[in-house]
Amino acid sequence: MSHETDRRSTGDVGPGFMDAAEVTIREGIARYVIGFVLACLLTAASFYVLDSSLIWGPGIPVALIVLAIAQMGVHLVFFLHINTAPDNTNNVLALAFGVLIVALVIGGSLWIMDHLNENMMPMHQMMQMQR
Amino acid sequence: MSATDTPFERSSDPYRIGHGRDWVSAGGGRGYVYATGHGEGGPASKRVIVGYGFWIFLLSDIVMFSAFFAAHAVLQTATAGGPSGHELFNLWSIVAQTAFLLISSFTCGLSAVATEARNHLWTQVALLVTGLFGLAFLVLEGRDFANMVMQGAGPDRSAFLSSLFAVVGLHGLHVSAGLLWLGTMMAQVFVKGFRPDILRRLVCFNLFWHALDIIWVALFTVVYLIGLGR
């Protein structure tokens, strides 16, 4: 009975697993090398964009955030092995929920605090009213 | 066979979760024999469950970090007349920290490959290199913190610096805890060998260390690179 449930397909992996896919040592190392090279390129691009005139000045923060999100994707796929394999569905769904919460917390905070700053009376005026 | 519920019709639906699997009616009404983890082929193996549980923990950890990031993003310009990031940050130190953590994440992955190959020596070597780069990262971060405090730019100077020390320090605490865990794992692999429970702990440690690097990517981008431009 148990030997039946242990027969998993090649894509049947949880996060961080490689044994189920019967990955050879060479393939396993190759996967990490690809991820490492991609991560290095994206990191170098982030540091390069910072000081170059390649991108329009006010657009640099946006470019940096896009590069960071791309690098996080590389880390998730090549280092944490979050992929589209059937038994990875649970992990991907958990990740999607995590991303939703993170986006709400960060995006919501920035949005609300930005509006508060705009709508608040400047500090020196408030001081004068308190006199 | 007029029923639409035949095995072949079901498994040919490309949008069904877990498609591409063999449908095996293996008696006892168990349905998908190979579909472990979908509740239809018997329980998933302990390794899969442990990995999934630890993944949930990591996601909750990332949610906690997001609150610190939100605080810092809001307070990044609240310098209260004190120094801003542009005056404080040492770019080359950030570059070195980023490189060290990325390399340690890479060697941590190599240790996982060595573990899969059940090679004691290379597992220990890769873990040791991971730890050394992690330690170098912590030393540089500690040096940066000390420099800032000596310049009078400690966490008590402005809201910007409070939130900076909070979010960067929280990551540093995680790295420190990870180093302790790493040392423990090296000792356990040495003493107990590749027992199933040790292998599960190694998988969890790998996930933890890679997650720390993901958080560092967000950190050096939001805190340091964007902070340098302010």
Residue numbers of B between 150 and 189 with CB closer than 8 Å to A: none
Of B52, B102, B211, Cβ closest to residue A14: B52
Q: Is the torsion defined by CA of B139, B144, B150, B156 positive or negative?
A: negative
Angle at the Cα of A73 (from A41 to B171), degrees rounded to 5? 85
Q: pLDDT (tens digit, 9 = 90+) per residue, B186-216?
A: 999 999 999 999 999 999 999 999 999 999 9
Rounded alpha-carbon distances, angstroms, from residue B157 to B151, B220, B222, B229: 10, 21, 20, 20
For A22-71, how does the pLDDT look when each residue is reduced to its tens digit (9 = 90+)? 678 888 899 999 999 999 999 999 999 988 888 888 889 999 999 999 99
> B51 at the A interface (CB within 8 A)?
yes
Nearest-CA distance B113 → chain A (Å): 6
Instruction: Spell out the residues 6+ positions from residue B71 whose beta carbon is closer than 8 angstroms to its own.
Output: A109, B163, B166, B167
Contact across the interface for B66 and A94, Cβ inside 8 Å = no
Name the residue among A46, A49, A83, A23 with its Cα closest to residue B102: A46
**In the prediction, which pLDDT does A7 show?**
44
10 Å Cβ neighbour count for B100?
21
B16-36 burial: b if 16+ Cβ within 10 Å, else e: eebeebebeeeeeebebbbbb
> Which domains, and CATH codes, for chain B?
1-44 (no CATH), 46-228 (1.20.120.80)
pLDDT of B162: 95
Confidence tier at B107 by pLDDT (50, 70, 90): very high
pTM for this prediction: 0.81
Give the pLDDT confidence of B122-164 residue by residue, as tens digits: 999 999 999 999 999 999 999 999 999 999 999 999 999 999 9
